[in-house]
């Protein structure tokens, strides 16, 4: 397993509606968590100042916009990420989109989203895909990794399969992480932190279970202890 600092293993999902709420959470949590995800809702509400605030406090940023557009537009968009302290940026796992993102001249690592963790068999049937969710994830992952993509965003349910199929080199980020006794929410393909790490996940995207806990610091410590027992985290 990759040696990743324990305080970077959890990517805290700042899924809040405004910049003030995001800044408060960062300031409450970044003694223990040093990696934060900014998604579409927050980015539209707070823009670059949110990113700058997170990075200015010595934290890492995953910009989760899941870009999907014509390749030229994707490349130009990703070039806007340069020099902003962004570690990971997400695009949809479509080959030409991934190649365009990789062609941008930035230091940002590109993560391809394979299949959204909210998607289940019913949604897959609407795509007329003749196979399982796991089949589609594997197909998309293989295509984007062949193009040199730095990493994959997938459900932890597919982590072991992807590690077995494609090896240890790429970064694997898994949302849909729920500690025992946590509600699934809008996620269908979920896993516990221990299961995700044991199956090969490098980073765990966690939001509500920490944010809504009676004691967020204690919940964070509990999850990190679980991770430390199974990973090479320092």
Mapping DSSP to helix (H, G, I), strand (E, B) and coil, where does residue 129 land? Answer: coil
**Phi, psi of 213, deg, nearest 5:** -70, 150
Whether the pLDDT of residue 19 is over 80: the answer is yes
Q: Is the pLDDT of residue 201 over 90?
A: yes
Find out whether 200 and 162 touch, Cβ atoms under 8 Å. yes
CA distances from 35 to 58, 86, 103, 215 (A): 9, 10, 25, 19
Backbone angle region of 85, left / alpha / beta, with phi > 0 → left and psi within -120 to 50 → alpha: left
pLDDT higher at 228 or 41: 41
Q: 116-167 pLDDT, tens per residue?
A: 767 767 777 777 777 788 888 999 999 999 999 999 999 888 999 999 999 9
Where are the alpha helices (H) located in the chain, listed in sequence order? 6-9, 19-29, 40-46, 48-56, 71-79, 95-103, 121-126, 133-146, 159-166, 193-198, 208-211, 216-228
Annotated active-site residue in 37, 60, 66, 138: 66
The per-residue pLDDT for range 99-113, each reduced to its tens digit, is: 999 999 999 999 999
Whole-number average pLDDT of the chain: 90
Where residue 79 falls among pLDDT bands split at 50, 70, 90?
A: very high
For the chain, domain boundaries? 6-228
Burial track 24-46 (b if 16+ CB lie within 10 A, e otherwise): ebbeebbebbbbbbbbeebbeeb
Return the CATH fold of 6-228: TIM Barrel (3.20.20)
Q: In angstroms, what CA-CA distances link 198 with 55, 104, 175?
A: 30, 33, 15
pLDDT the model gives residue 232: 56
Q: What is the pLDDT of residue 186?
A: 46
pLDDT tens-digit map of 163-194: 999 999 999 999 988 776 654 454 445 578 98
Q: Which of 116, 136, 69, 65 has the alpha carbon at shortest distance from 97?
A: 69
pLDDT for res 229:
78
pLDDT band of 214, cuts 50, 70, 90: very high
What pLDDT was estimated at residue 184? 46
SS3 call for 67: strand
Centroid of chain to Cα 152: 8
Any bridge partners for residue 63, and if so which? 38, 89
| Count of CB atoms situated within 10 Å of the CB of 22 | 24
For residue 180, the model assigns a pLDDT of 63
pLDDT of residue 131: 79
pTM: 0.90
CA torsion angle 142 6 27 22 (round to 10): 20
User: Catalytic annotation on 66?
Assistant: yes
pLDDT at 94: 94
């Amino acid at each position: 397993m990759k040696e990743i600092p324990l305080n970077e293993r959890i990517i805290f999902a700042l899924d809040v509606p405004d910049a003030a709420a995001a800044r408060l959470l960062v300031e409450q949590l970044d003694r223990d968590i040093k990696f934060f995800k900014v998604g579409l809702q927050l980015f539209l509400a707070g823009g670059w100042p949110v990113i700058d605030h997170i990075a200015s406090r010595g934290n890492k940023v995953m910009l989760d916009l899941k870009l999907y557009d014509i390749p030229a537009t994707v490349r130009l968009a990703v070039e806007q990420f340069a020099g902003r302290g962004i570690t990971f940026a997400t695009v949809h796992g479509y080959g030409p989109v991934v190649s365009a993102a990789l062609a941008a001249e930035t230091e940002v690592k590109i993560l391809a989203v394979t299949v959204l963790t909210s998607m289940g068999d019913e949604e897959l049937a609407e795509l007329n895909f003749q196979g399982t969710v796991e089949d589609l994830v594997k197909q998309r992952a293989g295509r984007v990794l062949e193009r040199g993509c730095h990493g994959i965003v997938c459900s932890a349910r597919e982590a072991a399969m992807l590690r077995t199929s494609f090896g240890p080199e790429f970064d694997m980020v898994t949302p849909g992480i729920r500690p025992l006794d946590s509600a699934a929410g809008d996620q269908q393909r979920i896993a516990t932190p221990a299961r995700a790490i044991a199956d090969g996940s490098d980073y765990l995207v966690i939001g509500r279970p920490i944010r809504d806990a009676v004691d967020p610091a204690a919940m964070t410590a509990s999850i990190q202890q679980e991770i430390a027992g199974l990973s090479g985290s320092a």
